Structure 1
């Protein structure tokens, strides 16, 4: 069985000493200032000569980014007039980069990140999707031993200084303008909508940080907030979160403390996507799911609001909200706008008009959407019986015993695995009584951590044999978690009247990125039974589309949604359902960040399988793609699909939006085009409510 390992050189270093030569009293947390990029930043590209990296580098160079060269294994030549070196270490010595952009596909991205850490590159930006979770956990365990390198990502659009004309990532450049609002976001598409709104308000952006939508992020909200607090170019802050994890709650604690200690704090506005997301579902992004004991998106929204952040329900509103907040804070908004406009004029003298290139940008190493393998019931019992010898495992808890909850999962705050323990499996008590016990990824849980978890399970007074078995079980589950690259392994435990330990109700989730990206654990992932999954979701997956049926028991849920990007798709469902619109959506559909004619055609077909649907809302933000081409795709798909007389409302925002809207309006097809979300949503709900 494959066990994910460090590259030999990195493994030896990580196990024998701290990973860098940094003074030991410093830590990974001290690297947040590496996020302050700008005109001074010297940028390296790993995977420099690849098609995606080449086009991205051309655009970034035109924008003003100081790219100093790249790396290609075995390479020693020029590309785009810049040097190409065979290793990151040689590039560090010769080119003195401050940052590196990892344009390497997911199967090799982990190794590329490790090479950058070993070379002590100050800022590492990883944009690829589907890097296996355990690769990232391993990388984070390395990063914690040093204080030289900071990671942004993975599965993130990157980081961009609009005021410093420095882009490290694939953000849509036409959307950005230099200014004074700092933005940090999990979702790419929601961040682009946010940027566009701030640009339209004339405020512009200082620094925009993409946290990314994976389970574990190298840089989180609090890291970004710490940078924005001390950044002289940042006058206000926007935070864009979503369902899953606790980063928004940590940000709320920071915001509350910030407002308490600062006499003149910078105003903060926020949004949380996924407020209408069903429990237990992964909503497009690998990390967009609420684990046991984690706050829902709705709870996050209220906690951020209570902390003092001004909340919005759609990113289109951020621009006007920010102007109001700045005015309330005593800031001269017209002066900020004038400064942003002056910065923009200065930037135009040093760059040509930059337009996104669709073919290269939209691929982003994304062959298909990510899912988790879920084994339950008898399949989970059979698999655990093979993997854990010497334990009694069954589907049901014995009648004569009370059960406790045990899981090995991810602690997103500590960026490491953890033991999750609760002395009760009662759903009403579980949330309040569980506790997480993080442990190092490479070493596994030590005896002290295991005993603390057993004590919290209230099994420390169990018969000696059951106590010893529980300790052995935790250790074995932790090994299995790493060996099989699980997301979470959960069981209920009970001690019988005879004193023996019983395991029941196993729920096993595995990271399929390890299988899809790296072809690891083939036998394990062969256990997936698609006949037990909704047929429409399996069909969508084949086309790289994420489809989730919503409100299945509600016949009045009659709005079909078609959106590009998971964050925007979640927020579309939220904003339609919340006041003032009060609509009901039949589905969540993320085209995977793309909106080609083929994906739109397939999406229409999937949505129309649901007889409840009365109207389809196509909500596209053309950040990385051109709205004119998106409109062509919608029109072509519309002509090929039997729409069953269902009306279609299309909202196009972003690059070339006027061209796209005009094409829709002049198509002669029963399509209604809008640019504003509020107006489009009003029309959608109006059509849905027609008898």
Structure 2
């Protein structure tokens, strides 16, 4: 694969796509079929990349921004042109990439404009993009071979070597180097970057997969880029619960190591090892759906494939430096036929993940589940016969949901009354062309065959699937589960249902208000509802002992990993709390108010990585909260990132019973001991 950093300047008037076609040798005039995979080289940003964005800091860093887009407006900003449309920007500035900073309700439209203008790389950073908007976008992406999407719900992509940032990553953390990083979590990626910078390794290219359900670029895509990149000598992968991307990456790593004489060392982390089952942990995609592997399964798969696992991102730097040294020695001393990556580093104590606390009733903070009677009413409105009854051995299971691998809708079918992994088959289909009304669709025949449904009722099956499909689209559902069986008359009927709906449709776009009015916050955990009002994601864990500690973190991935690492060190967390990547002093104060309302809490751990958030501002919020709330619970503060020295100094000089650290290990041991526990070494 050609290194696109060496692309020459395009001749005036030459179409952008023709230039990339010639330089990459990936696209020709042959009759072969083009696909979305052909856009992988577009990820190789660098000094050559011309981007449309509006970021003063990126300009100062060296990113070649050629302008911005504001619909219907033509002018100038920061000495650069403002274009009235993406099409106009493409025609006049010939950009290689476009950064989309619009809110979630406008993101899909902006991506669509970029696809139509054939912009090679599109980076979408917005959170709360409605899932059905993204399903439609992915149906477009899969039908073309010119535009590559990174995101949404991610900080972007950045080349430290090429001084090109397309996104909002905290630039002080980055330094030119030789480590390629791909991550779902923004804050965990910043921690990883900072660790490799402190170790003197630096970064080559950092790609954000993002925390949404459907990602434009996944782990395998990034690994394909890193393996052939001459600037990348080591690879780091940061995953979390939800989806199958980590398992796909494990298969890729296994194959890569088997066919490569001296493979690049790979390290990895999986967040959410101790996440409560079924809960959404901050990121829209951070929850384990039916049939998906759990966090421990992902961890095991990556380790078996040859990735060296860590329990906290601050261990990546020194760990990777050791692996690179081992690789160099192995390459220089071993025969060429036996040169291989050596696994001389083990940085995570093996801990079995089990449900060690009585869990509170499950509810989803970013996915609305309606009651069964409400779900079956929706089926009746579509003229589907319903006879609610207890499960029986003759029942079967159908589910219409989203397939995170095919990036499309998917039907799951099981001949058992409940989801049974061994007997369940998946039937993905296109979002834009599905039509099950006639019953002639091959998927209907395949489902009927798998469930052994008689031909006499296949028409009923088609009607049911079509009804589910209509509900799925019309009400912007994410998960529609139905238990089905044969009536005494021999017709197909629904016997139970569980429906879940995407709340981003309401949260960012104001759609589906009627559906979301079915939610009853009075039946939910009070603290979680209160936190939601302030934009805080709070998950209250069940009772454990009287030596509980709580954590306050900025960023979903970092919050999950903090719970994991504290648990591994012997702590018992009372909650998960994500202030959001843009935490302010006010959100910190609100977070303290919520967590101190829990009488079980004996100590508080504040773990902040200052990216967009400045550590001095967080320190101000902590001090303000301590005084205003008259707190008596001891607080341990770990501040890293932007203005970390100022923040730590403010904590140290506050005169309050606050304990400041920069090392996670030291901070974790301190807060566990303050909570009455016995911290263990890992």
For the aligned pair, the TM-score class normalised by the smaller chain equals 0.7 to 0.9
Matched, 1:683 2:670: yes
Consecutive unaligned residues in structure 1, runs of 5 or more: 1-20, 46-52, 334-368
Distance in 2 separating the partners of 1:586 and 1:448: 49
TM-score norm. by structure 1 comes to 0.86
TM-score norm. by structure 2 comes to 0.87
Distance in 2 separating the partners of 1:625 and 1:272: 24
Matched, 1:403 2:395: yes
Partner residue of 1:177? 175
Query: How far apart are residue 30 of structure 1 and its match?
Result: 1.0
Partner residue of 1:450? 444
Asked if the contact 2:376–2:386 (Cα under 8 Å) also holds between the matched residues in 1, the reply is no
Distance 1:690 1:217, change over 3 A: closer
Matched, 1:482 2:473: yes
Matched, 1:505 2:496: yes
- Deviation string, structure 1 residues 642-663 (Cα, Å, up to 9, x no partner): 32x2111111011111111111
Aligned length: 614
- Deviation string, structure 1 residues 550-581 (Cα, Å, up to 9, x no partner): 2x142346111111000000000001111xx1
Query: How far apart are residue 199 of structure 1 and its match?
Result: 0.4
Distance 1:492 1:295, change over 3 A: same
Matched, 1:543 2:534: yes
Partner residue of 1:32? 40
Distance in 1 separating the partners of 2:596 and 2:161: 45
Query: How far apart are residue 382 of structure 1 and its match?
Result: 2.7
Distance in 1 separating the partners of 2:278 and 2:73: 46
Matched, 1:232 2:234: no
Distance in 2 separating the partners of 1:665 and 1:23: 68
State the secondary structure of the residue aligned to 1:610: coil
Distance 1:445 1:611, change over 3 A: farther
Partner residue of 1:156? 154
- Decide which of 378, 383, 392 is 2:378's aligned counterpart: 383
Distance 1:398 1:637, change over 3 A: closer
Distance in 2 separating the partners of 1:625 and 1:390: 51
Matched, 1:559 2:540: no
Distance 1:381 1:126, change over 3 A: same
Asked if the contact 2:547–2:677 (Cα under 8 Å) also holds between the matched residues in 1, the reply is no
- Deviation string, structure 1 residues 584-629 (Cα, Å, up to 9, x no partner): 1110000112332221111112112222111111111111121111
Asked if the contact 2:280–2:365 (Cα under 8 Å) also holds between the matched residues in 1, the reply is no
Partner residue of 2:634? 647
Pairs within 5 Å for 1:247-266: 247-266=245-264
Asked if the contact 2:123–2:149 (Cα under 8 Å) also holds between the matched residues in 1, the reply is yes
The farther-off stretch of 140-149 and 88-97 is 88-97
Distance in 1 separating the partners of 2:327 and 2:435: 48
Pairs within 5 Å for 1:7-26: 25-26=33-34
Query: How far apart are residue 232 of structure 1 and its match?
Result: 0.6
- Decide which of 124, 134, 137 is 2:135's aligned counterpart: 137
Distance in 1 separating the partners of 2:513 and 2:180: 43
State the secondary structure of the residue aligned to 1:582: coil
Pairs within 5 Å for 1:12-161: 25-45=33-53, 53=54, 57-161=55-159
Partner residue of 1:281? 279
- Deviation string, structure 1 residues 422-448 (Cα, Å, up to 9, x no partner): 111356xx1222221110000126611
Matched, 1:518 2:509: yes
Pairs within 5 Å for 1:232-631: 232-330=230-328, 371-386=366-381, 388-394=382-388, 396-397=389-390, 402-426=394-418, 430-444=420-434, 447-459=441-453, 462=454, 464-465=456-457, 467-550=458-541, 552-556=542-546, 558-578=548-568, 581-631=569-619
Distance 1:311 1:425, change over 3 A: farther
- Deviation string, structure 1 residues 435-463 (Cα, Å, up to 9, x no partner): 2111000012661112212222232xx36
Distance 1:295 1:83, change over 3 A: same
Asked if the contact 2:269–2:313 (Cα under 8 Å) also holds between the matched residues in 1, the reply is yes
Distance 1:425 1:577, change over 3 A: farther
Name which structure has the greater RCO, CA cutoff 8 Å, separation 6+: 1
Distance in 1 separating the partners of 2:118 and 2:329: 40
State the secondary structure of the residue aligned to 1:168: strand
Distance 1:107 1:331, change over 3 A: farther
Query: How far apart are residue 316 of structure 1 and its match?
Result: 0.6
Query: How far apart are residue 385 of structure 1 and its match?
Result: 2.5
Asked if the contact 1:176–1:204 (Cα under 8 Å) also holds between the matched residues in 2, the reply is yes
- Deviation string, structure 1 residues 250-276 (Cα, Å, up to 9, x no partner): 000000000011001110000000010
Query: How far apart are residue 503 of structure 1 and its match?
Result: 1.5
Query: How far apart are residue 403 of structure 1 and its match?
Result: 1.7
Distance in 2 separating the partners of 1:317 and 1:22: 48
Query: How far apart are residue 379 of structure 1 and its match?
Result: 2.5
Asked if the contact 2:51–2:96 (Cα under 8 Å) also holds between the matched residues in 1, the reply is yes
Partner residue of 1:211? 209
Distance in 2 separating the partners of 1:186 and 1:583: 25
Distance 1:641 1:199, change over 3 A: same
- Decide which of 658, 663, 666 is 1:671's aligned counterpart: 658
Query: How far apart are residue 73 of structure 1 and its match?
Result: 1.4
Asked if the contact 2:124–2:154 (Cα under 8 Å) also holds between the matched residues in 1, the reply is yes
Partner residue of 1:351? none
State the secondary structure of the residue aligned to 2:243: coil
Query: How far apart are residue 667 of structure 1 and its match?
Result: 0.6
Partner residue of 1:5? none
Distance 1:129 1:24, change over 3 A: farther
Consecutive unaligned residues in structure 2, runs of 5 or more: 1-28, 332-363
Distance 1:477 1:189, change over 3 A: same
Distance 1:331 1:27, change over 3 A: farther
Q: CA RMSD in A?
A: 1.9
Distance in 2 separating the partners of 1:620 and 1:457: 50
Distance 1:84 1:23, change over 3 A: farther
Distance in 2 separating the partners of 1:331 and 1:152: 36
Query: How far apart are residue 501 of structure 1 and its match?
Result: 2.2
State the secondary structure of the residue aligned to 1:114: helix
Asked if the contact 1:99–1:121 (Cα under 8 Å) also holds between the matched residues in 2, the reply is yes
State the secondary structure of the residue aligned to 2:410: strand
Partner residue of 2:339? none
